[in-house]
Amino acid sequence: MTISVRLPPEEQHMLEMVARRMGRGKSDLVRQAVRELCQRLSADNRTPYSLGQDLFGAGNLAAAPTDPMKRQIWEKLRAKHHRMG
């Protein structure tokens, strides 16, 4: 598919400089830019849940402390907040 894009002189100059510096064609750079932009925008549509989905349930609850004083406090807090684990 052929698309024509009008660039302001400043952006055209920037594109030419980068293409020359990288040894690539202007069309190639524009295709890459469009591809990267579309990938970034489609990735931004993910929900907070989908972003952290691989992390949910990945850990374990903390083990009970071995120090007797800390263990006593831990048990009281656990009973107060009805936590299991």
Helix axes 9-22, 26-44, angle to 10 degrees: 100
- Render pLDDT for 67-83 as a digit per residue (tens, 0 to 9): 999 999 988 888 888 75
- Render pLDDT for 42-61 as a digit per residue (tens, 0 to 9): 877 778 888 888 888 767 77
Measured over all CA atoms, what is the biggest interatomic distance in the chain, rounded to whole angstroms?
75
Q: What ranges do the domains of the chain cover? A: 9-47
> To 5 degrees, how large is the angle CA 37–CA 39–CA 42?
105
For residues 44 and 14, give the distance between their C-alpha atoms in angstroms, rounded to a whole number.
27
**pTM across the whole model:** 0.51
For residues 45 and 39, give the distance between their C-alpha atoms in angstroms, rounded to a whole number.
10
